[in-house]
Every structure is written in C-alpha cells, then in structure tokens.
Amino acid sequence: MSWGWQAVDDYIAHHLIGADDALAAALANNEKQGLPPIDVSAAQGKMLFLLAQMAGARRVLEVGTLGGYSTIWLARALPEDGRLVTLELEAHHAAVARENLERAGVSAKVDIRTGPAADSLAAMDVGAPFDFVFIDADKQSNALYVAEAIRLGRSGTTIIVDNVVREGGVLDADSADERIIGTRALFDMMEADPGLDATAVQTVGAKGWDGFVLARVL
C-alpha cells in the first residue's frame, strides 16, 4: 500500500502537534481574505518553534509574513519579553496577519513592517542582534536576505531559509525561473562565505517536495 505525503503529515500533526484553534483560525482567515495558501505546514511550523526555542532566541527576524501563520509559531517560542520583527511586502497581507496575531494573543511581541524587505532591512541598525532568522519571501532576493541576516545577527545566530529545493529545480543551471536562479545564487553565496556554516535538507509532505537551509553564523 502506498501512503501519500499529506497523509503522513496529518499523522505527524495528530500525534505530535494536535488541534490548535488560533492556528486553524489564522489559516481560515487567510483563505477568506484571498491570501495564497503557501504557509508552512503544521509540522514545519512546529519545527520552527522548536528550533527557535533550542537556540534560546529572544529576538527573531522573519522575512515574509504572509498571514502570520509562521509568525505565530515563532512568537510562541519567545519568552515574555522577546521580540519578533517580521517583514511583509503587501499591505493587505500585513493587515490580515495583524488580525491573526491579535486573535492568537501574540501581537504584543510582534512588529510587522510593511514594504520591500530589502528596504526594511537596509534601514535597520545592527543594534541588538537577532538570535534567529526565518526567510520565506521572494526567492530572487534570498542571497541578499541572508547577507542582511548575517549583518543583523551575531556569532551563533540561526538562519533558516525555506523553499530551496523546488522539486529538484535547484539543479537546473539553465532555468529561466527567477526563483530557481535566486536559489542557486543563495547556494553560491553561502559556499563562498567563510563566516557561515550551513547545510540544506530536502523535505516532502503537505507542501510537496522542497527543502530548507539551516545555517549558523560563525
């Protein structure tokens, strides 16, 4: 008998995550408001939550808010005085995210900044460094976003980048897809940066065949 990736994700969620009214409401609101269904899965959200906790994160940076589903997971991983800055291009997406974060009871920890992420990042002073960075936005700019994460981080900062396998498309050196071109540029950038220790892991599940980068600033 062959089991589907969605069925396995459902099994994982049933046994290890359970029902969550706030997260379910966020996804329902996203759909109602016309947001694309490109949020991380429940299993991936729980992974982000655990990784942020394992890193002892007190300050988190997220590039790509969408409707705030992953933002809720990351905000829950923070201590009471923790802070999460999340960047979203679309004003409508940001407004939906604010509704979802308020309903989930984590809005006091979250600062949503609207506009091109490259501009928002460039405007940030180093100041207090971020301990954990999750990047899930336009793939064309991934190398820039990781460079900015390094600048705004510290030795030991954890960086996660989503959607870096793209059903194997990352291997296509001749691709005209800007998302694949940007992903390949990210790998080239990380390979050349001696201040970053990184790997990438392929994933299958409710979101299909993809993968993520896991990196640590040295």
H or E element at residue 142: helix 142-151
Structural domain range at position 170: 5-217
Domain count, the chain: 1
Residue 2 in this model has a pLDDT that exceeds 80: no
**Predicted pLDDT of residue 210:** 97
Q: Which CATH number is 116's domain given?
A: 3.40.50.150
Contact 32, 65 (CB under 8 A): no
CA-CA-CA-CA dihedral for 40, 44, 48, 53, to nearest 10? 150
Dihedral sign of CA atoms 164, 170, 173, 177 in order: negative
Residue 2 corresponds to which amino acid?
S
pTM (predicted TM-score): 0.96
Q: How far is CA 98 from the centre of its chain?
A: 17
Which strands make up the sheet holding 158-162, listed edge to edge? 110-114, 83-88, 59-63, 132-135, 158-162, 208-217, 196-205
- Span 35-93, pLDDT tens digits: 999 999 999 999 999 999 999 999 999 999 999 999 999 999 999 999 999 999 999 99
- Span 116-153, pLDDT tens digits: 999 999 999 988 999 999 999 999 999 999 999 999 99
